[in-house]
């Protein structure tokens, strides 16, 4: 049985995994570089080990992390998301050292990480796929010929890409010629391989993904879908479960489609099958994420299934606790990615010390965070500093709960996306539950909000000024 897990990540996801370990009676081991010496995941874990002065490299050395797992007596490693979570080498090294990797097999990670292999696997399984290349492009001339065949607009994509990087939309041949070398360069720098492909651009689709779980006995189930259409430059901002845009028939169809996709590749552990839904209500496979997703809390909220604990049980060789008919969804959940960014200034990162932080609470409110008052947001990592999840029985009441919780969530010292999300929740198009991936770009006016200090904060500031004056 798994008794001790090395958490090969940082921030709020590391805290989330540590909490799951604690509830299962499993010891947790955190890692940190100099920039994270005072991070919350270091304080929460049973043990913590320094992995280097460089803020990032310590999280990226698979051999070092697996050696540390073995030396500290761990029998499993959880990669979280980002960093090495979709690196098949980490899973391979774990297997060689007898450390259980809490995720799918190296072969599945490798196949699904290669977008061409993934597309071809889905086609073989009868899963609808966006028209495009069935192999890596050899030259810009080949890209141009294929684009002319399938028609503009097209998307140039890094074959091994993810997270919204290494991807460019091309509306004409001129744009294709201009972007080709750029995408190849981005693919080389970000993913270590210059391989790219082209596919038809589905204009302003809905982005719908399905959470799956598979065990080592061959059982695979889905936990319904999440709507990730509210995004900026292919980066998700707000996620919703279940999608308020699907009919029940569509929900059942896409769930079965995701299970079929997972079975086609022999998937084990937690994963996500991502689809685009076009304006003609046709679903297309986009990619499979072979890891835990940032937005997993909203699925946990509507189903009651602890996905992280299920991951650990699956890695321990245990069968799924649930059959498909056991999985029900209730109400709606919305997750807001609270980023340390300034929406009024092109969403530029806003880094530094958090001078004051108030976490929201009350019924149907969950916060996944690694910040606290006086915490310094380092400049080396993703700008997301917290995730706020709200739940209620109806779509309308969930929106209102979101407005209340966002108002309760106060972060001072840095700019955040909280006021921007408050404006989104007021927008009639969003409130109607009818939106697509073009929502953010077609509503630039939502960034022009007016920030207001709540009365209690103003009172605290006045009191502090009076105290300072009296102390003179």
75 Cβ contact list (under 8 Å, min separation 6): 2, 3, 4, 5, 98, 99, 100
Of the residues 10, 111, 291, 366, which is catalytic? 291
Nearest CA to 211 out of 148, 299, 149 is that of 299
Start-end of H helices in 270-349 = 296-303, 307-315
Measured at the alpha carbon of residue 198, what is the angle toward residues 253 and 193, in degrees to the nearest 5?
105
- CA atoms in the 13 A half-sphere facing the CB of 165: 13
Token representation of residue 347: 């969403």
Measured at the alpha carbon of residue 432, what is the angle toward residues 428 and 438, in degrees to the nearest 5?
75
Nearest CA to 410 out of 363, 461, 447 is that of 461
Nearest CA to 295 out of 207, 389, 365 is that of 389
Question: Is the separation of the CB atoms in 29 and 53 below 8 Å?
Answer: no
Kind plus residue range of the DSSP H or E element containing 41: helix 40-44
- Any bridge partners for residue 47, and if so which? 29
Token representation of residue 264: 């086609």
Nearest CA to 32 out of 337, 370, 293, 294 is that of 370
Token representation of residue 314: 């699956």
Is 353 considered catalytic here?
A: no
Question: Is the separation of the CB atoms in 340 and 350 below 8 Å?
Answer: yes
Between 248-264 and 115-124, two packed helices, what is the crossing angle to 10 degrees?
110
Tell me how far apart the alpha carbons of residues 273 and 197 are, in angstroms, rounded to a whole number.
20
Active site residues: 291
């Amino acid at each position: 049985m798994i008794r001790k897990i090395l958490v090969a990540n940082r921030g709020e996801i590391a805290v989330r995994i540590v909490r799951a370990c604690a509830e299962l009676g499993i010891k947790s081991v955190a890692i940190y570089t100099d920039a994270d010496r005072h991070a919350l995941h270091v304080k929460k874990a049973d043990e913590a080990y320094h992995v280097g002065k460089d803020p990032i490299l310590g999280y990226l050395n698979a051999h070092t992390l697996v050696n540390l797992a073995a030396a500290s007596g761990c029998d499993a490693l959880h990669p979280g998301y980002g960093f090495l979570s979709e690196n098949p080498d980490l899973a391979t090294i774990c297997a060689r050292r007898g450390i259980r990797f809490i995720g799918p097999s190296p072969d599945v990670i490798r196949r699904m990480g290669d977008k061409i292999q993934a597309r071809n696997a889905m086609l073989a399984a009868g899963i609808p796929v966006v028209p495009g290349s069935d192999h890596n492009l050899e030259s810009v001339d080949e890209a141009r010929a294929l684009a002319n065949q399938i028609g503009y607009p097209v998307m140039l994509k890094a074959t091994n890409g993810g997270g919204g990087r290494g991807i460019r939309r091309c509306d004409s041949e001129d744009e294709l010629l201009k972007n080709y070398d750029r995408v190849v360069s981005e693919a080389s720098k970000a993913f270590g391989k210059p391989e790219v492909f082209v596919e038809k651009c589905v204009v302003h689709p809905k982005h719908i993904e399905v959470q799956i779980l598979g065990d080592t006995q061959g059982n695979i189930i889905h936990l319904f879908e999440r709507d990730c259409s509210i995004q900026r430059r292919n980066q998700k901002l707000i996620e919703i479960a279940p999608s308020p845009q699907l009919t029940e028939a569509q929900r059942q169809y896409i769930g079965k489609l995701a299970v079929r996709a997972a079975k086609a590749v022999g998937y084990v552990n937690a994963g996500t099958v991502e689809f685009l839904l076009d304006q003609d209500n046709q679903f297309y496979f986009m990619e499979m994420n072979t890891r835990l997703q940032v937005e997993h809390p909203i699925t946990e909220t509507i189903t009651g299934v602890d996905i992280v604990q299920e991951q650990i049980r699956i890695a321990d060789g245990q069968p799924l606790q649930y059959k498909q008919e056991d999985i029900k969804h209730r109400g709606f959940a919305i997750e807001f990615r609270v980023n340390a960014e300034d929406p009024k200034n092109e969403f530029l990162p806003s880094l530094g010390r958090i001078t004051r932080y108030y976490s929201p609470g009350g019924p149907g409110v969950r916060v996944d965070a690694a910040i606290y008052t006086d915490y310094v947001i380092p400049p080396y990592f993703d700008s997301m500093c917290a995730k706020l999840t709200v739940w209620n029985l109806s779509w309308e009441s969930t929106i209102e709960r979101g407005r209340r919780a966002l108002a309760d969530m106060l972060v001072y010292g840095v700019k955040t996306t909280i006021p921007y999300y408050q404006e989104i929740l007021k927008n009639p198009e969003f409130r109607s539950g009818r939106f697509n991936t073009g929502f953010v770009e077609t509503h630039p006016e939502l960034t022009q909000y007016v920030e207001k200090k709540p009365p209690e904060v103003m009172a605290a500031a006045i009191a502090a000024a009076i105290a300072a004056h009296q102390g003179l």
